[in-house]
Amino acid sequence: MTESVKELDQRNLSQLLAAVGRDRDIEAFEELFKYYGPKVRAYMAKLARDGQAAEELMQETMLAVWNKAEQFDPTRGNVSSWIFTIARNQRIDAFRRERRPAFDPSDPAFVPDDVPPADVEFEGRQEADRLRRAMETLPPEQLELLKMSFYREASHSTIAAELGLPMGTVKSRIRLAFAKLRAALEERA
């Protein structure tokens, strides 16, 4: 590639980028870097207003050009548009990283819930066992209604329609089941 950087035209730039994408041609990439590096840096300096950030963004842009060169399609646009689109996206990503709040390990969203003490957990299991045993004493039709109402969260009208029972019967059976559960739990307390 003996042409000077200033003599490169769009056709040659496309060929250089194609060589980078197809063959990972380092010399072709050097030509692209010499041509576009200063332009991208100037563009980034204008956007970032920080020379160091502009240099870093230019480096990231050119690295992305190296990594994505095989994705360039000359039928969809020219090399300059493609590279400056990558540059713009790099700047947007950098801007978002700057705006992202710092990680706060004491943020309640990141603090795990307290594990209940063993005695509280044990008491909870005992209560669940008492309730299960009390439910086993219910007649099957009342137990079925409770399960439908509280585990499946079905409305009384849905339960009545599914079982072909009058609404009053469903409500009275659920009320009786509660009364029996309350009495059984008070007995064992």
**pLDDT band with cut points at 50, 70 and 90 for residue 6:** very low
pLDDT in tens, 99-142: 766 777 777 777 777 777 888 889 989 988 988 888 888 888 88
Query: Quick one: 95 and 143 in the same domain?
Result: no
Please report the DSSP string for 3-58 in residue order: S-GGG--HHHHHHHHHHHHHH--HHHHHHHHHHHHHHHHHHHHHHH--HHHHHHHH
Contacts of residue 121, Cβ cutoff 8 Å, sequence gap at least 6: none
Residue 147 and residue 94 share a domain: no
Average pLDDT for the chain: 83
Let me know whether 94 and 146 are in one domain.
Answer: no
> Is 182 inside any structural domain?
yes
The DSSP-derived string for 125-148 is HHHHHHHHHHHHTS-HHHHHHHII
Q: Does residue 173 form part of some domain? A: yes
Domain boundary among 99, 118, 148: 99
How high is the pLDDT of residue 10?
A: 65
CA 83 to chain centre: 29
Structure-block tokens of residue 40: 């991208």
Tell whether 125 is covered by a domain: no
- Which CATH number characterizes residue 182's domain? 1.10.10.10
Please give the pLDDT value at position 7. 52
Number of domains present in the structure of the chain: 2
SS3 content of the chain, % helix, strand, coil (to 5): 75, 0, 25
Domain that holds residue 73: 5-99
* Whole-number pLDDT of residue 8: 60
Is the pLDDT at 166 greater than 90? The verdict is: yes
- Does residue 94 sit in the same domain as residue 12? yes
CATH number for the domain that contains residue 94? 1.10.1740.10
- Same domain? 84 vs 149: no
What would the pLDDT profile of 17-38 be if each residue is shown by its tens digit? 788 778 888 888 888 888 988 8
Give the pLDDT score at 137: 87
Question: Does 155 have pLDDT greater than 80?
Answer: yes
Q: Is residue 139 situated within a structural domain?
A: yes
pLDDT digits (tens, 9 = 90+) for 42-78: 888 887 777 788 888 888 888 888 888 888 887 888 8
Report residue 13's pLDDT band, with 50, 70 and 90 as the boundaries: confident
Q: Which pLDDT score is estimated for 28?
A: 86
29 part of a folded domain: yes
